[in-house]
Chain A
Amino acid sequence: MGQRIDDALTDLVHGKLSRRDFTVRAAATGLSAAAIGALLRATPAAAAESAFPITGPMQEGSGGTLVVGQESNWDVLDPCLGTGAVTWRTCLYQIYESLVSRDMDNPQGLVDAITPRITKSVDRSPDGKTYTFHLQDGIAFSDGTPFDAEAVIWNVGRQWDQSKLGRKNPPQFDTTAAAVRSWFWNPAQVVNVTAPDRYTVVFELAKPFAPFVSGMPESGLGTMGMCSPTVWKNGGTPAIAAHPVGTGPFLFDSQSPGDQLTIVKNPKYWNPAQAAKADKIIFKALTDSATRVAALRGGEVHVIFAPPAQELAGLRRDGFIVTARPNPHLWYLQLNANEPYWKDRRVRQAFFMSINRSAMARLLMRGTALPAVSVNGRTCPAWTDKAGYPKHDIAAAKKLLAEAGFAKGFETTFQIPTGGSGEMDPVAMAEWIASDAAHIGIKIKLQTMEWITYLHAWAAGMKAGIGLNQQSWGMTSIYWPNLPLRTTSVLNVGHQKDTRFDVLLDAANSALDEQTAIAKYRAVDALNAQELWLLPIVNDLAPVAISPKVRNFVHSSDWWWDFKKVWVQS
C-alpha cells in the first residue's frame, strides 16, 4: 500500500494527477478520509513552482508565413466595436494602431510602459485637466488618407457620446461603439477635444483623471484605435469591419469570418525600423483544444493559444516551446453583500483562508497560473504582494468562523460560467473552491451557465440566494479597481456599500502625480485585503505553444499581442 500511495503522491506533486483522482486512488488503497485529507493539505507545499520561458528562439531575420491557431473566433474587425480578447489580441492589434500603446514585446518585461507610436509625446497640464497629444507627422493610413488631428477627432467622435453634454453627436457616432467604450468615457469626463494645429490634439477633462493615458490602450486597442475616416465616408460603419484600414505594420488581406483571416506585411509602414518581419500571418479559428494541438503537431500551424494544461509536458518533450508570462489577468470572486452570512467580515476572511490558491495554481492549473495576491493584475504598477491578503490556514479559518457564530458552517450558492473569455477552467476551479470551503463547513452549491447566459445574469448583479459569483478581468492600467470596487459601479455585482473604497478611489483618480495615484490604489487593495468583498484567486499565465521554426516570439505581458518582430524559418 505504501508504494502505491507514494506513486500517487509523486503523480499529484508533478501535476499528473488531480486531487480528485488522487483521492480515488488513495481511497482504493484503504486509506482513511482523514488521512487522505491530511496528505492533500500537506502535498501542495512539496510541489515545485512551474516555470516557462517568455520567448522562443531569438534570431535576426525575416520572412515566412506565420499560422496562428486561435481558441475562438474573432468578431468585428473594427477598432471601436471588436470586443473579444481574441479579436484585439491578434487581428486588430496588427492592423490598427492606438494613440498610446505598450511595449509588450520587451523580453525584460516592462510594467505599464506607455510607448509612443503614432503619438510622439503627451503633455499633461499642471492641474491634471488637459492632455495634449503631439502626433507623428507624415503618417498615412494604408488607403492614403493622412493620419492627423482631424482623423483623431473623427475617431473620437465615433465613440464619445457628446449628447450627455447637450451637444449633437457627429454623423460617424455609433451607439454600440459608445456603449462598448463607456467604461472609459464616462469616468474620464471629457468636455472638449480640439485640434490647435494639424498634428496636435487636446483633450480637456472636467476634473483630473489620473488613469486617462494608461486607460486608453485597455480593451485591446482601447478607446484610441485609429481607423481611416475615408472607409466610413465611402461605405459607412459596415465598411470599416469589411475593409479594415489602419496605420499598422500589417494590412488586411482577406477573411472567411469565423474560420480564417489573412494579413500581409505593410510594405509602406511609416516606421521602417519597426516594420513587420513575417510576410504574412494567417489566423485560424480552432475552437477545439485537441484539434489545436493536433494542428501544431501536424505542422499545420506554428502557434496555438490556450493549449490544454495536460498537453504542455508532452509538447515540450516533443520539441515544441511553451511560453507563458504574467499579464493583467485576475480570476476573482465577488461576494453578495446582501446575503446575511457574509455581513460579518470574519466569515469572509474564513472563506478566503479556506481556499488553497497556491495548490490550485500548481496542481489543478498545472503551473499555468499563479496565486493572486492583489486586486491589481501583475503587470499593473500598483500590483503588490504586500496588500495583506490572509494566507491559507484551515485551523485559523475554522476559528474565525466559530467566533462569527457559524461553527457548523452554512450553505451558499456559487454562480459560474462553464467557459468564456479568460475564464480558464471555471467549473473545475469552482469545484476546487467548494471542496476547500467544505473543510471549514461551508457547503457550496454550484450553479453553472453557458457564457452569454452567465454574462447576462452577472451583469444584472447577484440576486437573493446567490452567495458568490466569478469573473476574469484585470488591466495593466491603474484604473481597474474602479470597476469592481466602487460602490456605485455597475461591476459591483455583489452590492457592497463600503464608501471607504469610493473615497480612496476618488483620491487615486484625482492624484496629480503617478506615485500618489499608485499609493492610493495600493491602499484600495489593502482595504479590500481586510474587507474581502472581492477575492483574488489566481492570475493566468496564458501559456502558448509554438513551433521551433518560429523566431522572435515574445510572450505578451498584456491581453493583446504584437507580432511585428516574429518571423518563420523555412
Chain B
Amino acid sequence: MLRYVVQRIVSVIPTLIGVSLVTFGLLHLVPGGPAVAMLGMAASDPKAVAAVTRELGLDRPLPEQYWIWLKRAVSGDFGMSTEFHVPVSGLLIPKLEHTLILTAGSLVYAVVLGLAIGITTALYHRSLFDRVAMLITLIGASAPVFWIGLLLSYLFAIRLGWLPALGMTSLLGGSSVLIVLRHLILPAFANSIISLAVIARIVRSGMLEALVQPYILAARARGLPRWRQVVVHAFRNILPDAINITGLQVGFLFGGALFVEVVFGWPGLGYLIYSSIQARDYVTMQAAVLMVSAAFILVNLMADLARMALDPREARA
C-alpha cells in the first residue's frame, strides 16, 4: 500500500507539468494577449503593443517563456498578475481558501442530502416518494447552476429576505463564522445540486442491488433490526463506490464553483480564473489552473486511499 501511495504521489509531478504545458499552449493560441488587454484602447497603436509585449517577455520563443515560468514556479514564484500588478501567489491563496469553503459547504449538502435521498428512495422503491425524488434530482442535475442560483437568490434573499444575496461576509456588518455560514447557505446549495443528484442516484442503485443480496436475507433471518440491515450491512457494502463518486464530485464542485461565485459574488478562485481569461492574464491563469489541477489530483488520491482502506480487496489488488 505504501508503495502504491508513493507511486501515486510521484505521478502527480508529470501530471502537473502536462497540465501546465497544455494550459500554456492553449493560452497562447487565444487571439489578443496581455499587452492588448493591459493597453485597452491604446492597443490600437502597434508600437505601444510591441513595447509592452517586449517588456513582458512575450516576444521570446514559447519554449523559452515556458522554461522561465517553470524555473520560477518551482521556487514558488508564480510572477506578477498583469491584470492587478500584484504577486500571483498573494492573489491566489485567499481565493483558494474561499473556494474551499464553498466546496466544503457544497460537499456537505451533496453528501448528506445525496445519501439520505439515495437510501430512502431505495428503501421505498417505486413509491410516490421515490418517483418524485428521482424526478426532482433529474431536473436538478439538468438545470443550469447559474439559473438555480438566481432563483434561490430571488426567492430567499429578495422576496423572503431570509438570507443574504451575495458575498461571503456582510459588507456592512463584519465577518464572523456565523455570518460566513449564513452567506454560505444559498451558494453552497446551488453549487451542490448536480453532485447531490449524482450521489443520490448512484447510492439508490447501489442500495437497490445490495438490499437483495443473500447477506441481507441472512441478516433479516437472524432477526436484526431493519436499520442495522440497511446501515451496517447494505450501506457499508456500497460505501467504497459512494466514496469514489464523492471524490470525483469534490473535483466537480471545486471546478464548478465558477458559476455560483459569479452569481453570488463569492470571492473565489473560479471567478478569478474567469476574470483572468478575460484580461488575458496568462500568469494568473497558469498558476490558478495548476492549483485547481493539484487540488483535483489530491482529492482523487485521498478518495482512492479511503476506498482501499474500506475495501481490503482493492488494497490487495
Contacts and interface: CB of A to CB of B under 8 A. Distances in A.
A287 B166 CA distance: 12
B171 A67 contact: yes
A294 B154 contact: yes
Interface stretch (A42-50, A179-187, A432-440): A179-187
Size range of the chain A interface in the assembly: 35 or more
B86 A238 contact: yes
A179 B48 contact: yes
Interface string A274-310: 0000000010111110110011011011000000000
A73 B52 contact: no
A298 B161 contact: yes
Interface stretch (A110-118, A256-264, A335-343): A256-264
Interface stretch (A198-206, A452-460, A511-519, A550-558): A452-460
Interface stretch (B36-44, B68-76, B199-207, B211-219): B36-44
A29 interface: no
Given A178-B51, A294-B166, A298-B165, A287 B262 contact: yes
B62 to A, nearest CB: 18
A502 interface: no
Size range of the chain B interface in the assembly: 35 or more
Given A81-B85, A258-B275, A290 B150 contact: yes
Q: Is the interface of B mostly helix, strand, loop or mixed?
A: helix
Contacts of B40: 83-84, 180, 421, 455
A456 B43 contact: yes
A241 B86 contact: yes
A285 B94 CA distance: 16
A451 interface: yes
Interface string B259-275: 00011110100011001
A490 B172 contact: no
A259 B172 CA distance: 15
A294 B158 contact: yes
A176 B91 CA distance: 22
A487 to B, nearest CB: 14
Contacts of B52: 175-176, 179
Contact of A284 (B51, B86, B265, B278): B265
A104 interface: no
Contacts of B91: 257-258
A286 B266 CA distance: 9
B166 A179 contact: no
Contacts of A238: 80, 85-87
A206 to B, nearest CB: 19
B171 A284 contact: yes
A181 B44 CA distance: 12
B183 to A, nearest CB: 10
B280 interface: yes
Interface in A448-481: 450-460, 473
Contacts of B54: 175
B83 A453 contact: no
B32 A455 contact: yes
Contacts of B83: 73, 75-76, 257-258
Q: Is the interface of A mostly helix, strand, loop or mixed?
A: mixed
A491 B85 contact: no
Contacts of A297: 158, 165
B157 interface: yes
Contact of B31 (A256, A257, A453): A453
Given A256-B94, A286-B265, A301 B171 contact: yes
A295 B165 contact: yes
Given A175-B52, A176-B52, A456-B31, A282 B262 contact: no
Contacts of A453: 30-32
Contacts of B255: none
B158 A78 contact: no
A237 interface: yes
A553 B91 CA distance: 33
B48 A67 contact: no
B85 A300 contact: no
Contacts of A179: 39, 42, 45, 47-49, 51-52
A259 B267 contact: yes
A527 B50 CA distance: 34
B279 interface: yes
Contacts of A259: 265, 267, 271
A314 to B, nearest CB: 11
Given A182-B42, A298-B164, A75 B84 contact: yes
B103 to A, nearest CB: 17
Interface string A42-84: 0000000000000000000000010100000101111001011
A294 B165 contact: yes
Given A180-B39, A456-B36, A295 B84 contact: no
Instruction: Name the 10 nearest CB pairs between A and B, nearest first.
Output: A179-B48, A456-B32, A259-B267, A83-B40, A452-B32, A298-B165, A241-B85, A257-B84, A294-B165, A459-B44
Given A238-B80, A241-B86, 12 more contacts: A78-B85, A83-B39, A83-B42, A179-B49, A288-B146, A290-B263, A291-B165, A298-B158, A452-B36, A452-B279, A458-B44, A473-B41
16 contacts: A73-B83, A83-B41, A175-B51, A175-B52, A175-B54, A176-B38, A179-B52, A238-B80, A238-B85, A256-B94, A257-B86, A286-B166, A291-B165, A291-B166, A455-B36, A490-B46
